[in-house]
Structure 1
Amino acid sequence: MARSAEQALLREGESPDTVRSYRSALRYWAAWFGGRYGRPIALPLGEAAVLQFIVDHAARTEAADGRACELPPALDAALVAAGHKGRPGPLGLSTLLHRVSVLSTLHRQHALDNPCAGPRVRALLAGTRRAHARRGDGPAKKPALTREPLEALLATCDDSLCGQRDRALLLFAFASGGRRRAEVVAATVENTPREGAHYIHVMGRSKTNPEGRARSDQLKPVTGRAAQALADWLGAAGITSGPLFRRVRRGDVIGEPLAAAAVRDIVRRRCALAGLPEDYSAHSLRSGFVTEAGRQGVPLGETMALTGHRSTASLIGYFRGAVTQSAAARLLEPEAEAAPPAPAPQPGEP
C-alpha cells in the first residue's frame, strides 16, 4: 500500500508532458525488445540488451555493410508501421539518450540493478555523444520568434473571439518572459491579477521550479500591448475566474481550458496564415524573447528575472543570431563605426 502511494505521488509530481514522454519511451522499449528477442520485456533488463539497443539506434558512418545503424530492416519497418517510430533509420541523439534515461529511471524507482549505470553502457553512450559531436550532429533548434515575425503573426489576428484569444496568448507568452506552453495554459485569473493598466502573473510551479517554492523572480509583469490584449480577450470571452486561455467552440461558445499542445497549434496556424517559411514552434516564443532582449541590449539580469533562468549559461543557449550584435564582439572596431557620434548642436541650441 505504501509503495503504491509512493508511486502515485511520484506520478502526480511529474508534469503531464513528462509522463507522456516516459510512457512513449517505455512503449518503444517494449516493442523493440519483443521484436528483437521474441519475448515480452521484463525487469530488470540485462546490460547486454541495453548495449544492443544503443548500437541498434545510434547512427554510424563507418558501418561495414553501409547501414546507418544496426537495427534489422524488418524490425525497423515494423516499428514504423506500428507507429512507434516516425521514420526508418537511427534515432536522433537526444531521443536515444532520453529512452536510455527513462529505462534507467524505471530501474531506480523499483530499486532494481540498473543496467544503464554499468561501465560498458556509460562508455558506449559517451562515445556516441563524441561521435555525433565530431560529425557536427548537434540538436536541431527551432528558430527564434523575434519581434518581426511575431508582428506578422499578430497581424493575422482579427477581432473575432479566436483572433482576440490568439493575440492575447501570443503577447502574454512573449512579453511575460517567453513562457513555456505548459506555463501559458497554467495561467489563471487568480494567479494573474490586474493592477491598474497592468497584470502581474505570479509564477508557481515551472520547469526550473518544480516544487513551486517562493522565489524573488516569481512576479512576471504583463504590460502595454500585452496587457491590453489580455483585457480585451477576457472581457469579450466573459472570463472572470479560472484559466485565462480557453477553447472557442462553434458559435463563439467558450469551452474548456486549452491544453499545452494547443499553444503549439496556435503558433503553427498563425505562421501558416502569415506565410512565414520558418519552422517555428511554441518554444520559439521563449528563444524569441531572449534573442530580442539581447538585440535591444537588455541586461542579462533583467532578462533572467522574467525567463526564470538560474544560470547565464542556460540563458545564452536560447540566443538565436543575437551574438553577432554583441558589443563584446566589436572591441577592435573604431569608435566611430561602433557608435555613431551625436549630431553637432546647431547655432542657438544649448
Structure 2
Amino acid sequence: MTPPTPYLPPPSPALSAADQEALTELYVRGTPANTLRAYERDLLYVTAWKTARFGTAPDWPESEATALAFILDHARDLGGAPDTDIARQAAQALITQGLRKSLACPAPSTLDRRIASWLAFHRMKNLPSPFDAPQVKQARAKARRAAARAPAPKSQHPITRDVLEQLLATCRGSRRDCRDRAILMLGWASGGRRRSELTALMREDVSLKEFEKHGLVWLSLLETKTTGKGETPRLVLKGRAAQALVHWIEVGQIKDGPLFRPVSKADRMLKRRLSPDAIYQIIKHRLKLAGLPEDFATPHGLRSGFLTQAALDGAPIQAAMRLSLHRSVVQAQKYYDDVDIAENPATDLLG
C-alpha cells in the first residue's frame, strides 16, 4: 500500500534521488499495514474537515487555531446546534461525503486517533505539531474527560468453548467447511488471533515437523498489534486444532503462499489470500448456520472467548497471555475480572 503523500518524508537537498527513494520505501516497510490504512482514512477525514470548515487544504505545519477548532468541533454533540453553526455545517458536509456517521459527539478514542495521525504527519515531515501547544493539549484533555464513556465491547459476546463447538458443528465436508474449521480452531486455540493475523499467515509460517510424532503444529506470526517483526514468539497448536489445520493444508493442497484462501462456489481453491473482512463474513455465516443471531459475535469474539474460557477453566492469566500476546496485564485481566466477579462470594451476601 502506498501511504498518503503528506506523511512521507519531505525531499531533502542533502539526499540523492536514490537515497530519498530509499527513505520513502523505508517509511512504507516500517509502518504496519493497519497503521497505513488508518493514516489514509484519517488524512482523508482531516482534509475534508478543513476544506468544509475553512475552505482550504491542511497546512504544514498546521496552525494552533485550526488544531483547537478541530478539537472543539469534535467535543460536543452538534445535533442541537443551529443550522448556522459552522461546526454543524462542516459535520454535515462530512456526513454527505460518507466520512462521518452522525452529528453526535464522536468517541474520545476516535478523536485521539485522528489527532495522533495528524501529529504523526507533522513528525514525519520534521515539523512542529500544533497539538503540542499547551492550550491545545489542555483542550484535548478536557474534551477527553467531557466526552468520557464506557468502552463498547468489540464483540457482543465472547466465543467461549460451547459457542465455538456450535460453529464447528456447521463445518461438514466441503473444502470451504475444512477451511472455516481450521480458521475457527486456529483463531481460537492459538490465543485468539486477530483477523489481520489470520489472513497474513503463509504456508511457510507453519511447521509440521513435530506433528506426526508429537501432534504439535508451530506457528510463526510475522508481527501482531503488540509485537513487531522478529519479536513475535512462536505459537503452538495441538490436539483437534492441529489436526484441523493439517487437514486443511492437505485438502487445499497448500504447498506455499497464503495459508487461508477464498474458495469458489464450485468449491475450487483460489490463489489469493483472504481479506480481513472475509473472516468477519465467515463468523457471521457460521453463526447463522448454528441458529444464532448474525450479530451475536464478531471475529474479536475468538480472542475474548479464548481469554474468558481460560478464566473459567482456572488457567493462570500469565499462561493465557503467552498465547494471546497481550502486552498489558490490565487489558487481559478485564476478561478474568468479568468471570471472577460472578463467582465472588460477596455477590451473594443478600441471598
1:269 Cα deviation after fit: 2.3
For 1:52, the equivalent position in structure 2 comes to: 69
1:84 Cα deviation after fit: 1.3
| 1:41/1:3 CA distance change after superposition, 3 Å | same
Q: What secondary structure is seen at the aligned counterpart in 1 of 2:266?
A: coil
For 1:89, the equivalent position in structure 2 comes to: 104
Q: Does 2:198 align with 1:180?
A: no
**Structure 2 counterparts to residues 294-313 of structure 1, below 5 A:** 294-313=311-330
Q: Of the candidates 288, 291, 298, which is equivalent to residue 281 of structure 1?
A: 298
- Give 2:277's aligned amino acid: A
Q: What secondary structure is seen at the aligned counterpart in 1 of 2:235?
A: strand
1:68 Cα deviation after fit: 11
Q: What secondary structure is seen at the aligned counterpart in 2 of 1:249?
A: coil
Query: More displaced, 180-189 or 65-74?
Result: 65-74
Q: How many residue pairs get matched?
A: 325
| 1:208/1:71 CA distance change after superposition, 3 Å | farther
Q: Of the candidates 124, 137, 142, which is equivalent to residue 127 of structure 1?
A: 142
1:4 Cα deviation after fit: 4.1
Q: Of the candidates 250, 273, 287, which is equivalent to residue 265 of structure 2?
A: 250
For 1:115, the equivalent position in structure 2 comes to: 130
Return the alpha-carbon distance in structure 1 between the equivalents of residues 277 and 197 of structure 2. 12
Return the alpha-carbon distance in structure 1 between the equivalents of residues 282 and 310 of structure 2. 23
Deviations 1:127-177, CA, capped at 9 Å, x for gaps: 1222233xx443443232212222222222221111111111011010011
1:189 Cα deviation after fit: 2.5
Return the alpha-carbon distance in structure 2 between the equivalents of residues 112 and 3 of structure 1. 18
Q: Is the 8 A contact 2:203 2:256 kept in 1?
A: yes
Return the alpha-carbon distance in structure 2 between the equivalents of residues 59 and 151 of structure 1. 45
Q: Does 2:330 align with 1:316?
A: no
Query: More displaced, 252-261 or 203-212?
Result: 203-212
**Structure 2 counterparts to residues 1-350 of structure 1, below 5 A:** 1=17, 2-59=19-76, 66-67=80-81, 72-133=87-148, 136-142=149-155, 143-194=157-208, 195=210, 196=212, 197-213=215-231, 218-255=233-270, 256-277=272-293, 278-319=295-336, 321-325=338-342, 329-330=344-345
- Structure 1 unaligned segments of length 5 or more: list them: 335-350
Deviations 1:298-349, CA, capped at 9 Å, x for gaps: 01121111111233223224558323256xx448999xxxxxxxxxxxxxxx
For 1:344, the equivalent position in structure 2 comes to: none
Return the alpha-carbon distance in structure 2 between the equivalents of residues 13 and 146 of structure 1. 35
| 1:137/1:110 CA distance change after superposition, 3 Å | same
Q: Is the 8 A contact 1:168 1:226 kept in 2?
A: yes
- Give 1:265's aligned amino acid: Q
- Give 1:80's aligned amino acid: I
1:50 Cα deviation after fit: 1.1
What root-mean-square deviation, in Å, do the aligned CA atoms of Structure 1 and Structure 2 show?
2.6
TM-score (norm 2): 0.84
Q: What secondary structure is seen at the aligned counterpart in 2 of 1:261?
A: helix
- Structure 2 unaligned segments of length 5 or more: list them: 1-16
Return the alpha-carbon distance in structure 1 between the equivalents of residues 318 and 330 of structure 2. 13
- Give 1:151's aligned amino acid: E
TM-score (norm 1): 0.84
Q: Is the 8 A contact 2:308 2:339 kept in 1?
A: yes
1:296 Cα deviation after fit: 0.6
